[in-house]
Amino acid sequence: MDKSCINVGILGWGTVGTGVSKILVNQNSLISKNSYVQLSLKKIVKRTLPATRVGIELPTDCLTDDPSDVVDNPEIDIVVELIGGVSGAYSLISRAIQNGKHVVTANKALLAEHGSELFQLAQKHKVSLNFEASTAGGIPIIKTLQESFTANQIQSIYGIVNGTCNYMLTEMHERGVDFADILSDAQEKGYAEADPTLDVEGIDAAQKLTLLIALAYGVNIPVNQFHVEGITDISQKEIQYARELGYVIKLLAIAKLTDDNRVEARVHPTLLPERSLLANVGGAYNAVCVVGSAVGPTLFYGQGAGEMPTASAVVADIIDAAKSIQRGVSSPISHAWLENSQTANSICPIDDIETRYYLRFVVIDRPGVLASIGSILGNCNISISSVIQKEPHCTETVSLMMLTHKAKEKDMKSALEQIYTLEVVKGDAKLIRIEEEAAF
């Protein structure tokens, strides 16, 4: 199909939508020169009108408050969905695809929940559904997994993919502030939402991990089928004790291919050696480490959110979709979304994982406590690599920290159940998993 000018319509004119419109209007000639496609921004849907944005002069009659002016408009070739949410976005994207329009979205929640349906619909109507900005902002990790690593078996993925949590943990580490205080600070600076649940409970990172897993392993694993743990229980004590032990705490999204060809998926706070590359990804930045069978370890680093970094990824998808229109083809779609490829043994449950652990117990300061805990751990096939006991400060209890050698999660759970029955142990232990293999 020879189409000299590709018309674009945007659903949603918030932070990212504004950035996309700026690039499409202000960098139009650069895009044409570098990509050999001519893009024209025809319509922008904004919930309330009128509106203006600094740094952009829109074409006449560009703004509208009616989504039909984009998804049902025969002049629009590419629909860019940036409204967020699930149900409304799903309905509009479905209509756009059925109308033969190529779609670009940054909506990880939507794809995590309805990706299979939407990609099958896109294949049926022979259009592209592009989603680079859905996972790590301006970092081109989706295209890399789709194209650059096709000759590799992906052995593992370690991702810092939530800028809010990374900002908060960085500040807790560097400034010594508590979780509640840094959350208020992050909200004031716009790094965290008024309701931060999706970020701090690890759900946002988990939704992104589902997309990475589908591309890397061809398996569609819903968020509710793997372990997801946020940072709300990370205290300043854990930050300080981790530092004393030579570690930094990060919220990691982890995927691995096991020896028996299952996919291990989990999101949780993780101890990383302080000199490792991932441990030094600070602030609101994102990073994704991918280990391939041929290429070995690789690291992708950049801004995971924000107006222009995310808009850059969205526009890259728009250009890809425009090239597909010119060639009369659609972009390839991972078979994880096109087939019922998930089987009962595709997922490695959390109980079967094997890793090292950081444990902190609050115990009564009396002889024999360490021996009692150590005996239970040993009977559950867990070996201790190091122990630190803090001196008591005007109380009868002390903090007892342990690092273990590699052990199975189910053995750790069994050991903790028995340890909690000891009279000398007060409250639940703090448990954080350690990932030495991510330390490159």
Asked about 208 being catalytic, the answer comes back as yes
Helix (H) or strand (E) segment spanning residue 377: helix 369-379
Provide the H-helix boundaries in 176-306: 179-188, 197-200, 203-217, 236-244
In sequence order, which residues have a C-beta less than 8 Å from that of residue 59 and are 6 or more positions away?
Answer: 25, 41, 42
Please tell me the distance from the alpha carbon of residue 139 to that of residue 141, in angstroms, as a whole number: 6
Backbone angles phi, psi at 195, to 5 degrees: -105, 100
Q: Which of 22, 208, 250, 430 is catalytic?
A: 208
Q: What phi and psi values does residue 319 have, to the nearest 5 degrees?
A: -65, -40
Is residue 236 a contact partner of residue 178, using CB atoms and an 8 Å limit? yes
* Dist. CA 410–CA 292, nearest whole Å: 28
Q: Measure the CA–CA gap between 341 and 306, rounded to whole angstroms.
A: 35
In this structure, the strands spanning 407-408 and 247-257 are unpaired
Is residue 321 within 8 Å of residue 126, measured between CB atoms?
A: no
Residue 203 in 3-state DSSP? helix
List residues with catalytic annotation: 208
